Amino acid sequence: MFKPKGVIPALVTPLDKSGKLMEDALRKLIDYTISGGVHGLFILGSSGEIYGLTNEQKRRVVEVTVEHTAGRVPIYCGASEITTRDCIQTAQMVQEIGGVSALSVLTPYFLTPNQGELMDHFKAIAKSTNLPIILYGNEARTQVKIDVKTCEELSKVDNIIGIKDSSGDMTKMAEYLRVTDRETFSVLAGRDTLIYSGLCHGGTGAIASTGNIAPKLVSEIYNTFVSGDHQKSLELQLKLSPLRLCVDKATFPVVLKEGLKMVGIDVGYALAPAGEMSPESKRLLVNVLKDLELYQTH
């Protein structure tokens, strides 16, 4: 069974002002992140604004990514809709296209299912596809938690192979690691400030939105850790933190798209109602990127 590991940037979806997919910008972003040494690509996540794309756009993002990545790194794809039925529909669309290694499924949002309903939801999606599934918990955005007991239970399903934990709660991540089988189940950090901590506890990597802007830096946190230089890995983690903290300085994922423009890749705009960054936040982002030696003068 496929084993998710390393640093996997949750790619933004390049969209022009009218919300049309910018395919060339997506290809450019794929090349930029892969040349930065990432260990996989994650499309149609929350950074990729899956919630606002049409079914045709979702399909096209998968097709372009599979075709342009051409097997260079594994591709992970979101199938995160509100209802079980729609998650299954997206999962089957991805499976039909082919070339994707694993699906990531966020808990429902707006709806707040109990843990029993959540378990049924994930099991039904897992059953509907041959693709491996990574559970995704992001309670700050969805108000839905994946309890440790629920994760333990779901980890026994054959094709549920991991969890991306964006709770920011290190105790919870450590508990997910404690109750699941390290051989068959992977725990990935979803909070970019906790990549190093997750690895120390036995996690296998991270799905990191800052990997769009600083792929080399984020990848090196993982590479130096697995090569045994934990001190260097920690230093790189601390170096990344100001960029991750900047991501919250505007409506998500505006900062990711603005940051990419600043490093020389125009990925357009976030879907309304997300607007522009304030001049003050923009200045802060410029300074962070200058410190990281990533800022391109226009």
What residue ranges do the domains of the chain occupy?
A: 6-229
**Residue 9: what are its φ and ψ, rounded to 5°?**
-70, 135
β partners of residue 135: 105, 163
Residue pair 87/105 in contact (Cβ under 8 Å)? The answer is yes
Q: Is 164 a catalytic residue?
A: yes
Q: How confident is the model at residue 142 (pLDDT cuts 50, 70, 90)?
A: confident
Q: Residues near 182 by Cβ (< 8 Å), separated by ≥ 6?
A: 202
Percent of the chain with pLDDT over 70: 99
> Which residue among 5, 58, 164, 282 is the active-site one?
164
pLDDT (0 to 100) of residue 117: 96
* Cα distance between the two ends of the chain: 46
Kindly report the pTM of this predicted structure. Answer: 0.96
Q: Which of 5, 28, 76, 136 is catalytic?
A: 136
Q: What is the average pLDDT score of the chain? A: 96
Over range 124-134, report the average pLDDT.
97
Check whether 277 has a pLDDT greater than 80.
yes
What's the confidence (pLDDT) of residue 110?
A: 85
Identity at 217, one-letter amino acid code: L
Q: Does the active-site annotation cover 17?
A: no
The confidence band for 138, taking pLDDT boundaries of 50, 70 and 90, is confident
Which fold would CATH assign to domain 6-229?
TIM Barrel (3.20.20)
pLDDT at 298: 59
Please compute Rg for the chain using Cα positions.
Answer: 18
State yes or no: pLDDT of 192 exceeds 80. yes
